Chains A and B, each alone.
Chain A
Amino acid sequence: MATWRNNGLHKALLPPLLMILCGAARAQTANTCLDCHSLLDPPLQVTQERFSRDIHAQKGLTCASCHGGDPTRADADAMSKQAGFRGKIQRAQIPELCGRCHSDGAFMRQYNPSLRTDQLSQYRTSVHGKRLARGDTKVAVCIDCHGVHDLRPASDTRSKINPLNVAETCSRCHSDAEYMKGYSIPTDQFAKYSKSVHHEAMAVRGDLSAPTCTTCHGNHGAAPPGVDSVENVCSTCHVFQAQMYEKSSHKAAFQAASLPGCVVCHSNHGITQPTDAKLGTGPEAVCMQCHSPGDACDQARVKMLGDLASLDAAIQSANKVLGIAESSGMEVSQARLEQDQARDELTKARVTIHSFQTQLVEQDIQAGMRIAAKTQAEGKAALVERNWRRMGLGFSLGAILIVLVGLRLYIRQIEVKAK
């Protein structure tokens, strides 16, 4: 169907028509671009209200800063070549255009001295940047993640690149199976991440330091971590686990087999809360996927699992005794504090598991067991004390009862005498 827009005539008629329509508005604003573009339909529409939300507009930049032209003129020359008008920026040119300012340290210092200026060089190393250089314009460029014309700083929770929104921003392309067709990568990352412990920390507990896509993949230089670098990526947060893994025999074995370190046992996007069951033989178990029943490693697994279970049981048992003492009104807050230390030792032992050395795990377990035994003893002592108190109460009540009976008899005696 032929329309006014898709025949060639509109190209000739549009500028003068818009100039007439915008006549009233141009007297009121200094930006004639917005006078006209606010009246257009999307995607050409950019209103004053929308643009005013943009960090660039807030810093004094105008449409001409990216698109060229002269926004102070109200005639067709505003968008002339003489005025430097560039029109719509082609996707392939967007990173370079943004980089003109954002890679210029001296220029950026005027606005935000702490902002990095290596985004463009990083982008060129990313999968997105490399593919764009090869002519694939479907890949993400700056505006796909940051937005355009209403671009907000990352610290703004409404920004697409705020940590709370990054995963959703990435998922707009990466979860779209149709869009991602031809790239031979899965599209279930966001679905898996949404169920992960990292997402829970970020979205449910509001912990902005929790990892999102860019934490592991990088942002401007986004790329999947290589098999060898997985451990380095995870260790940026899980420092102690990484130190233990360094000591383990798995490190060399996984490297030799080109296995991606942490991901082998914990998976990647869908990482769930690890439990001791990972050391078991049930559905969550991971060891037995590689090891054979009865071998040395299986025996070590059984030992470590047993140690963890016994410390957990000792803590639970002490908790139970302290709970009974507390519900009897006994003051056991000091023992409760010590119980926290026992739990810390259990957590430490779970971290030490990554060394896969039973003697190291046992050291932590024994430290925890000593504390749990002490708190259990304190709880039992509190119960003994409670029983003493109750026995003392029984004797006291008995003595009081005897005095009461004695008093009553005495009163009767003196009253009978008086009569």
Chain B
Amino acid sequence: MRLLVRVRDWLDERFHWADLIGPLKKKTVPVHKLSYWYFLGGITLFLFIIQVCTGILLLLYYRPGANEAFESVQYIMTRVQFGWLVRSIHSWAANLMILTAFTHMFSVVFLRAYRRPRELTWVSGMLLLFLVMGFGFSGYLLPWNTLAFFATKVGTEITGQVPLIGHSLMVFLRGGEEVTGATLTRFFGFHVAVLPGLTTLLILVHLALVQYFGISVPPGVEARWSAAPAEARQMKFFPNFFLRELMAWYIALAVLGALAAIRPWELGAKADPFAPAPAGIRPEWYFMFMFQTLKKIPAKVWFLDGEVIGILVFGIAAFVWLLLPFFDQAGSGRAKKLITGAGVFALTYIIAMTLYGYMAK
């Protein structure tokens, strides 16, 4: 303990440590019956940290390339000490991170935490959600197994339908006209260099904004507290909320460990580009609602290509969703109802189409 105190004093002498962590000490978290939603952002961050750590460990053995990728993952799963655990945690944490990111996003919508002055916090959060989905899409191909190969083929084909830039975008993603080893090395580059860099930067911006603006209080609670200030309750971020968040992280770790030990992530069969696509090719669950929608749109709607319409609608919807706070500037009851309604519709649609995608043959 004496050593720790000496280190702290040493740092304080040089960097004025106390000034740096001062705001953190003063930071508080509102306490009300919906406070548990505040944990989701932290859990998502924890899962991202897990991804970075397990990803670095996987990099020690993973070899990108059509002739080596599958074998190297197979080696990790069967020969490397605890390789199965690292890979399974990496895969499960990826899926849980997307789930918690989506849940976090919808909790922000329904608690209206995106309101002025936190518009940029929302925008940075939405960009993070897109990046996380990019992580999922690029990482799915890396084991070079049959399902991933054909799902990537279908996924990049859909990208090719984007008007004007679609074909160029598809060629850029694939590194050619077809999904080949070039696509794998390209996706590997996105997955381990481009996306982590951008994500880390955006996480820092997002956290700085959360720190700067403080934690939002739901409008209903805020109104009650304004009417009766004595009812307003706050909790110190450090150590009170931080320790609770730590408990949430431990629970997430327990869930991850259980999933990895009981259901290690499957490897499947090595991709064979010359084999016919197996039946029932589906994307990862978080792309299922879009995939199922595109499947159900008629080939031609009036004179337009059905798939192009679907992609345009999803593109516009994502852009509008990104700018959501700017439609709720006046704080009018109508805008509030409209956004909550849109949130309920989006959530219902995503769940319904995902279930439909898994149940439809």
Which A residues, 374 to 419, have Cβ-Cβ distances below 8 Å to chain B? 389-390, 392-393, 396-397, 400-401, 403-404, 407-408, 410-411, 414-415
CB < 8 Å: which of A331, A403, A415 contacts B267? A331
Asked if B239 is at the interface (CB within 8 A of a chain A CB), the reply is yes
A389 to B269, CA, bound (A): 24
A329 to B84, CA, bound (A): 10
CB < 8 Å: which of A330, A400, A415 contacts B240? A415
B77 to chain A: closest residue by CB: A331
Q: How many A-B residue pairs have CB under 8 A?
A: 54
CB < 8 Å: which of A397, A408, A410 contacts B258? A397
A389 to B264, CA, bound (A): 10
- The answer to whether A414 touches B239 (Cβ under 8 A) is yes
What is the CB-to-nearest-CB distance from B87 to chain A, in angstroms, rounded to a whole number? 10
- The answer to whether B253 touches A393 (Cβ under 8 A) is no
* Chain B residues, CB < 8 A from A333: 74, 267, 269
A390 to B257, CA, bound (A): 10
- The answer to whether B78 touches A403 (Cβ under 8 A) is no
What is the CB-to-nearest-CB distance from A247 to chain B, in angstroms, rounded to a whole number? 40
Known: A411-B243, A415-B240. A331 touches B264 (CB 8 A): yes
* Chain A residues, CB < 8 A from B261: 389-390, 392-393
Q: Encode B110-128 as 1/0 by CB contact (under 8 A) with A.
A: 0000000000000000000
A414 to B84, CA, bound (A): 40
A410 to B85, CA, bound (A): 31
Asked if A82 is at the interface (CB within 8 A of a chain B CB), the reply is no
Asked if B263 is at the interface (CB within 8 A of a chain A CB), the reply is yes
* Chain A residues, CB < 8 A from B84: 331, 389
Known: A400-B254, A407-B247, A408-B247. A329 touches B262 (CB 8 A): yes
Asked if A334 is at the interface (CB within 8 A of a chain B CB), the reply is yes
Highest count of chain B CB atoms <10 Å: which of A396, A400, A401: A400
Which B residues, 251 to 283, have Cβ-Cβ distances below 8 Å to chain A? 251, 253-254, 257-258, 261-267, 269
A330 to chain B: closest residue by CB: B264
What is the CB-to-nearest-CB distance from A154 to chain B, in angstroms, rounded to a whole number? 28
What is the CB-to-nearest-CB distance from A386 to chain B, in angstroms, rounded to a whole number? 9
Asked if B345 is at the interface (CB within 8 A of a chain A CB), the reply is no
Known: A331-B74, A331-B84, A333-B74. A411 touches B240 (CB 8 A): yes
**Total A residues in contact with B, Cβ cutoff 8 Å:** 21
Known: A331-B77, A333-B267, A400-B253. A393 touches B243 (CB 8 A): no
What is the CB-to-nearest-CB distance from A16 to chain B, in angstroms, rounded to a whole number? 61
A329 to chain B: closest residue by CB: B264
- The answer to whether A400 touches B263 (Cβ under 8 A) is no
* Chain B residues, CB < 8 A from A401: 254
* Chain B residues, CB < 8 A from A396: 254, 257
* Chain A residues, CB < 8 A from B262: 329, 390, 393
What is the CB-to-nearest-CB distance from A396 to chain B, in angstroms, rounded to a whole number? 5
* Interface residue range, chain B: 20 to 34
- The answer to whether B257 touches A410 (Cβ under 8 A) is no
* Chain B residues, CB < 8 A from A414: 239-240
What is the CB-to-nearest-CB distance from A418 to chain B, in angstroms, rounded to a whole number? 8
* Chain B residues, CB < 8 A from A392: 261
* Chain A residues, CB < 8 A from B78: 331, 334
Asked if B244 is at the interface (CB within 8 A of a chain A CB), the reply is yes
* Chain A residues, CB < 8 A from B250: 400, 403-404, 407
Asked if B194 is at the interface (CB within 8 A of a chain A CB), the reply is no
* Chain A residues, CB < 8 A from B313: none
* Chain B residues, CB < 8 A from A389: 84-85, 261
- The answer to whether B240 touches A397 (Cβ under 8 A) is no
A330 to B74, CA, bound (A): 11
- The answer to whether B243 touches A407 (Cβ under 8 A) is yes
Which B residues, 42 to 96, have Cβ-Cβ distances below 8 Å to chain A? 74, 77-78, 84-85
Which A residues, 45 to 62, have Cβ-Cβ distances below 8 Å to chain B? none
A235 to B330, CA, bound (A): 89
Q: Encode B212-241 as 1/0 by CB contact (under 8 A) with A.
A: 000000000000000000000000000110
What is the CB-to-nearest-CB distance from B68 to chain A, in angstroms, rounded to a whole number? 16
- The answer to whether A397 touches B264 (Cβ under 8 A) is no
A94 to B323, CA, bound (A): 86
* Chain B residues, CB < 8 A from A404: 247, 250-251
- The answer to whether A410 touches B247 (Cβ under 8 A) is no
* Chain A residues, CB < 8 A from B267: 331, 333
* Chain A residues, CB < 8 A from B247: 404, 407-408
Q: Encode B268-302 as 1/0 by CB contact (under 8 A) with A.
A: 01000000000000000000000000000000000
Highest count of chain B CB atoms <10 Å: which of A389, A403, A407: A389
Asked if B338 is at the interface (CB within 8 A of a chain A CB), the reply is no
A333 to B243, CA, bound (A): 44
A415 to B84, CA, bound (A): 41
- The answer to whether A397 touches B254 (Cβ under 8 A) is yes
Asked if B246 is at the interface (CB within 8 A of a chain A CB), the reply is yes
A393 to B263, CA, bound (A): 12
* Chain A residues, CB < 8 A from B254: 396-397, 400-401
* Chain B residues, CB < 8 A from A329: 262-266
A394 to chain B: closest residue by CB: B261
A415 to B74, CA, bound (A): 50
B258 to chain A: closest residue by CB: A393
What is the CB-to-nearest-CB distance from A406 to chain B, in angstroms, rounded to a whole number? 10
B251 to chain A: closest residue by CB: A404
* Chain B residues, CB < 8 A from A407: 243, 246-247, 250
A330 to B240, CA, bound (A): 41
* Chain A residues, CB < 8 A from B77: 331
B254 to chain A: closest residue by CB: A400
Q: Encode A314-355 as 1/0 by CB contact (under 8 A) with B.
A: 000000000000000111011000000000000000000000
A415 to B236, CA, bound (A): 10
* Chain B residues, CB < 8 A from A397: 254, 257-258
* Chain A residues, CB < 8 A from B264: 329-331
Highest count of chain A CB atoms <10 Å: which of B74, B247, B253: B247
A69 to B172, CA, bound (A): 69
What is the CB-to-nearest-CB distance from B89 to chain A, in angstroms, rounded to a whole number? 12
A396 to B257, CA, bound (A): 8
* Chain A residues, CB < 8 A from B85: 389
* Chain B residues, CB < 8 A from A403: 250
A317 to B267, CA, bound (A): 24
CB < 8 Å: which of B239, B246, B251, B257 contacts A393? B257
Q: What would 20 A/B residue contacts be, using CB atoms closer than 8 Å?
A: A329-B262, A331-B84, A331-B264, A331-B267, A334-B74, A334-B78, A390-B261, A393-B261, A396-B257, A397-B257, A400-B250, A400-B253, A400-B254, A401-B254, A407-B247, A407-B250, A410-B243, A411-B240, A414-B239, A415-B240
Chain A residues engaging chain B, CB cutoff 8 angstroms: 329-331, 333-334, 389-390, 392-393, 396-397, 400-401, 403-404, 407-408, 410-411, 414-415
8 closest A-B pairs by CB: A393-B261, A329-B264, A331-B77, A400-B254, A389-B261, A331-B78, A411-B243, A407-B247
